[in-house]
Amino acid sequence: MAPLAAPFAAADPAERIIVALDGMDPDQALAFAIGLPKLRWVKVGLELYAAGGPVVVQQLHDQGKQVFLDLKFHDIPATMAGACRSAARLGAQLITVHACAGSEALRAAQESAQESAGVAGLPAPTLLAVTVLTSWDPARFAAELKITEPLANYVPQLAQLAAQAGIGGCVCSPLEVAQLRADHPVPFHLVTPGIRPAGVALGDQQRVLTPAQAISAGSSQMVIGRPITAAPDPAAAFAACCAEVGAALA
């Protein structure tokens, strides 16, 4: 099955920025999202989902936000299909799955997400494959998992597996985006966390790109958390990121 079309209008900078609603309880997340009327995309991760469940996804969707549901599904094909069926019904537009679940599970996830959104009258979501979590360092990855393939080769291989299974894109680190974009042209969807505007604290991120660099390297969309959510004026920080992305797109 062909990958789904990218669910964003490329020319609008606000469509390129997904704000990670981390470290917030559901009420805080909903208030934050309402407080930024120009914000189009939010990421609901395990932390917020564990606290707020499906309701918070539906509430954000009802606010008019597009939701990236980052629950990183990894299971047998039938369970992956069921999880993606339910996630698509909630109105999530981006949904993460682990590429290493394998092609059968990825195909099942993709098909059920698409079918379920159609039944609910919603646009089909794009599934994003997670390749190798960036928290692994190459030596520990090899030693603990007994995987002989170097980590640097493993990431593009898993991306290829996902693409061949009909998955529409990948989540990738700033270090990987240029290579993955070379291997997988648009409309394959590349979403990049690890973004820091110039002059903003790195926090626990080590290897980062600025919003403009992410666009130039081929990111479809970027995930930005604390540079916006922890800013003294989040609306101003979001506007500054949009301006930088807009200039890079021009």
Residues carrying an active site annotation: 72
Question: Which CB sits closer to ligand C5P, 20 or 97?
Answer: 20
End-to-end Cα distance, the chain: 33
Q: Residues 6 or more apart from 246 whose CB is under 8 A from it?
A: 13
190 binds ligand C5P (CB under 6 A): no
The stretch among 2-10, 75-83, 96-104, 225-233 that binds ligand C5P (CB under 6 A) is 225-233
Residue nearest ligand C5P (C-beta atom) = 225
169 touches ligand C5P by CB under 6 A: no
226 binds ligand C5P (CB under 6 A): yes
194 binds ligand C5P (CB under 6 A): yes
Q: Tokens for 26?
A: 């559901």
Which position among 7, 13, 26, 45 is part of the footprint of ligand C5P (CB under 6 A)?
A: 45
Residue 7 is a binding residue for ligand C5P (CB under 6 A) = no
Which listed residue (225, 238, 244, 245) binds ligand C5P by CB under 6 A? 225
Contacts to ligand C5P by CB under 6 A:
20, 22, 43, 45, 134, 173, 193-194, 203, 205, 223-227
